A and B are shown apart, each in its own frame.
Chain A
Amino acid sequence: MKKEKLILVGNGMAGVRAIEELLALAPDKYEITVFGEEPHGNYNRILLSHVLSGEKPFADTVLNDRAWYEKHGIRLESGRKVVAINRARRQVIAADGTIADYDKLLLATGARPTMMPLPGSHLFGVMSFRNIAEVETMLDLARPGRRAVVVGGGLLGLEAAYGLKQRGMQVTVVHLMDKLMERQLDAPAAALLKRSLEERGIAVELGAETQGFVGGKQVEAVRLRDGRTLPADLAVVAIGIRPNVELAQQSGIHCQRGIVVNGSMQTYDPRIYAVGECVEHAGNTYGLVAPLFKQAKVVANHLAGLGHARYEDQPLATKLKITGIDLYSAGHFGGGDGYEELVMEDPGRGVYKKLVIRDNRLAGALLYGDTTNETWYYDLMRDGSDISELRPNLLHGHGHLGDAGHSGAVAVASMPDETEVCGCNGITKGMIVKAITDKGLFTLEEVRSHTKASASCGSCTGKVEQILAFTLGGDYSPAPQEKPLCGCTEHTHAEVRNAIREQHLTTIPETMRFLEWKTPDGCPKCRPALNYYLISTWPGEAKDDPQSRVHNERVHANIQNDGSYSVVPRTWGGLTNAKELRVIADLAEKYNVPVKVTGGQRLAIPFIKKEDLPKVWATLNDNDMLSGFAYGKAVRSVKSCVGKGLCRFGTQDSLGLGVAVEKKFWGAWTPHKFKMGVSGCPRNCAEATIKDFGIVGVDSGWELHVGGTCGVRVRATDLLCKVATDDEAIEHAAAFLQLYREEGWYLERSSAWIERVGMPYVKKRILDDGAARQALAERFWHAQQFAQVDPWQDRAKSDRPDYEYAALEVVEAAA
């Protein structure tokens, strides 16, 4: 039987894979000719980044050498570019005039890099990253110390950047979007990736638009839209690819973005098939290898005359090939309406896992730092498996399942005491049970610290938890994981705040958009927190949003149970005078209300109706009295005793310092209320050791105490340090306050924050490095410029309509 003639145009991975598949199905059906533009056999383009980085020699990337073509009787026309197809005569014509006949034609012309029509694109040293010739040019230009700019922060761009960095170049990635690999990553994963790249010495410029390339013959710099020029001895452009349809289009084969094929990979000309990056199937084009190999299988099936295979798109999976960065993204990882998200984060280990679920099926997976279970997730996704049963352990991965669930509990119960549970540390079940019962342990962390079980590789964590649950019975509850800020988001306080800082977010809507908030305008839990993080991170820049303030802060007064308000003016250091007392007395008389002495050494005027608040404030302001912020998550009062000016025991002027401290610190917004106190001697009449910041006078100066609280729970302060002068006390207070403002979570008192981060950490940040302390204090004073605004005065002097304080009025009965 005479063989049919098959021509493959494009000697790349997809086309040659199709031939391999075909040879397996019908080795003798065709006389095969392969045209390839490049002068090589078929090589693995995906591994070019390893060739660039020097991790693999080019030879290792060769998939089919010339001997392979010979062995299978395939004619290889390498270095010959096909320029035309005569479909009527069924011939392909190469640039050098070679003509070849076909019965079936397979187009695998791949894709071309997208190049920008920018000034200087023609300069030597401006190139894309697609083939071995370009890699060779890059390697010629790459010298340690020289500078490379990579335009494009997608998969290919980052791999190029890493390769060039490995060759000793100074590399900057310029990316148009506000996060790296935006098509494969969400914000937290992109942020982790950015950090990892920066740790490897690769600079990353986000939101940066390339305007052109500068140089004589050879590129010397890359110019950005914002006016900056980045010096560059080499500029790699990796901003995407587009299907190479030139040949097909010129031959009259229907193309849109790519060569349009049906599920058999057949073009509109039934004798012509297409496969790989050049095709468009069901509106999709391709850049990753997995779907291309599937297409190769399908096209081989049809070319072999079997005719039963069909190509269907499957979830796409991406891996970043940078040594030491494990990153996997597959399917629909973005979430959205109708999707649920399971998230596990361990920033300390650099691990982030997000699984997206819809209707009990896995729809997407994003793994950073730990990709061990990628194939399992991919299979679940591809097969559309019901994951309801797996869900409790889904995030932990496949390896975890055997030890968990009810079967695990039973297995643990029947396990003999001698069975070794933790192989790393040689810990048996008996040892763990004994530790739990003897020492009264309740949590996994305690078991780890007492026995070391599961503290090394962690693979036995499930078993240890089962033993804990089995031993404690109903007393056991799993360790709480770091929780999202509220139900509107999956992000924790830390992530939200980091995003605000790193992405320079300055408004609540912007932050919600960036972090993909699940609700349109948040809730009473997240909005005040976001507002605080914004104004504390970007003082003077982020605008305060009154509608996101908790009620008392919004109206600058404390609501009482009958709906009226109390007004508490500042009494600096608890020191007042006849004039102020007279003003307060007059107001009390005017509104027929009592006056209450508060716990913070102030005077409160209660029972003021809302509409009267601006009038009361105006009277107080006229007499130089400011809001006491008694309603705020803010610096409250500074309680002080009379000190050595009056007291026979006093060693220091606590009243003077108290007044000075309150004048310097008032107005600062904090994660939770912040109380201060100054006592003149260790008798501590100002109760400074249960304040957030307490100052206690001793003969030689001041003792500084932090993290006290006296409320539902009482916590005495920790001693921070001793200082000699008032100025030092104030600088330390400012530094401490700023550290807490920057790192405490919203609604976390300083006491809880200190218990979370530990006093050694606080001391390290405040005491170990004077310059660091000063920097903290300076940030605080900077913020104070914008914070020391009396909201009462602001209100009383404003000509804004009085919507907040006046009620609506019925204008008239409408028809």
Chain B
Amino acid sequence: MTTIRNEMQWIDAGPLEAIPSPGARRLPSAHGDIAVVRTGSGAVYAIDDRCPHKGGPLSQGMVFGERVQCPLHGLVIDLPTGFAVGPDTGAVSTYPVRVADGRILVGLLPQTASAACGGGCACAQAA
């Protein structure tokens, strides 16, 4: 019998109210900066805080619908998938988020680089 070890590590990013709805904040972590985003509808997402275009801090962007716009040049990231909204291209890693007892928990997988595209994209194949 094999035991599957859950390697997911959850970190506590503080209370839900610490993020405006809609709004976002930066969360420094062992994996680098993460943008924790709360949408107007109340959903919470966590993505890499680095725009695929020129590295802009996505945590500083305007949140609308299920999207965030980079403050530097306006690239828009679709939060559920981490993909840039067309015609722009690129993607950021996404992290699982759950809210428990009013606190935001972000799951850090050791390898999340291709989580956004489910491992099917060119970046995963190249890796």
Indicate whether A555 reaches chain B with its CB closer than 8 angstroms.
Answer: yes
Q: Which of B10, B29, B36, B57 has the most CB of A within 10 A?
A: B57
Contacts of A807 on B, CB cut-off 8 Å?
A: 25-28, 33
Option from A519, A563, A813 in Cβ contact (under 8 Å) with B56: A563
A547-B63 contact in complex given A521-B22, A561-B54, C-beta closer than 8 Å: yes
**Alpha-carbon distance between A563 and B10 when the two chains are bound, in angstroms:** 27
Q: How far is the CB of B38 from chain A (nearest CB, A)?
A: 10
A813 touching B40, Cβ below 8 Å: no
Contacts of A527 on B, CB cut-off 8 Å?
A: 62, 64
B64 touching A808, Cβ below 8 Å: no
Indicate whether A812 reaches chain B with its CB closer than 8 angstroms.
Answer: yes
A551 touching B65, Cβ below 8 Å: no
B40 touching A808, Cβ below 8 Å: no
A803-B25 contact in complex given A551-B71, A563-B57, A814-B105, C-beta closer than 8 Å: yes
A814-B62 contact in complex given A547-B20, A547-B23, A808-B36, C-beta closer than 8 Å: no
Contacts of B76 on A, CB cut-off 8 Å?
A: 524
User: B21 — nearest CB in chain A belongs to which residue?
Assistant: A547
Interface secondary structure of B, over-half rule? strand
Q: Which of A519, A524, A559 has the most CB of B within 10 A?
A: A524
B10 touching A813, Cβ below 8 Å: yes
Q: For chain A, residues 777 to 815, give those with C-beta under 8 angstroms from any C-beta of chain B.
A: 801, 803, 807-815
Question: What 1/0 flags go to B42-68 for Cβ under 8 Å of A?
Answer: 000000000000111100111111000
A810-B29 contact in complex given A519-B64, A523-B64, C-beta closer than 8 Å: yes
Contacts of B22 on A, CB cut-off 8 Å?
A: 521, 547
B60 touching A559, Cβ below 8 Å: yes
A520-B12 contact in complex given A559-B72, A801-B18, C-beta closer than 8 Å: no
Indicate whether B90 reaches chain A with its CB closer than 8 angstroms.
Answer: no
Q: How far is the CB of A551 from chain B (nearest CB, A)?
A: 4
**Alpha-carbon distance between A808 and B28 when the two chains are bound, in angstroms:** 7
Contacts of B113 on A, CB cut-off 8 Å?
A: none
**Alpha-carbon distance between A801 and B23 when the two chains are bound, in angstroms:** 14
Q: How far is the CB of B27 from chain A (nearest CB, A)?
A: 4
Indicate whether A152 reaches chain B with its CB closer than 8 angstroms.
Answer: no
Q: How far is the CB of A597 from chain B (nearest CB, A)?
A: 24
B11 touching A524, Cβ below 8 Å: no
Indicate whether B114 reaches chain A with its CB closer than 8 angstroms.
Answer: no
Q: How far is the CB of A480 from chain B (nearest CB, A)?
A: 21
B62 touching A524, Cβ below 8 Å: yes
A561 touching B72, Cβ below 8 Å: yes
B64 touching A521, Cβ below 8 Å: yes
**Alpha-carbon distance between A523 and B66 when the two chains are bound, in angstroms:** 10
User: B61 — nearest CB in chain A belongs to which residue?
Assistant: A551
Q: Which of A552, A810, A815 has the most CB of B within 10 A?
A: A810
**Alpha-carbon distance between A559 and B70 when the two chains are bound, in angstroms:** 11
Contacts of B64 on A, CB cut-off 8 Å?
A: 519, 521-524, 527
**20 A-B residue pairings within 8 Å (CB atoms):** A520-B41, A520-B65, A527-B62, A547-B20, A551-B62, A559-B57, A561-B56, A563-B56, A801-B18, A803-B20, A807-B26, A807-B27, A807-B28, A808-B13, A808-B26, A808-B36, A810-B27, A813-B9, A814-B11, A814-B105
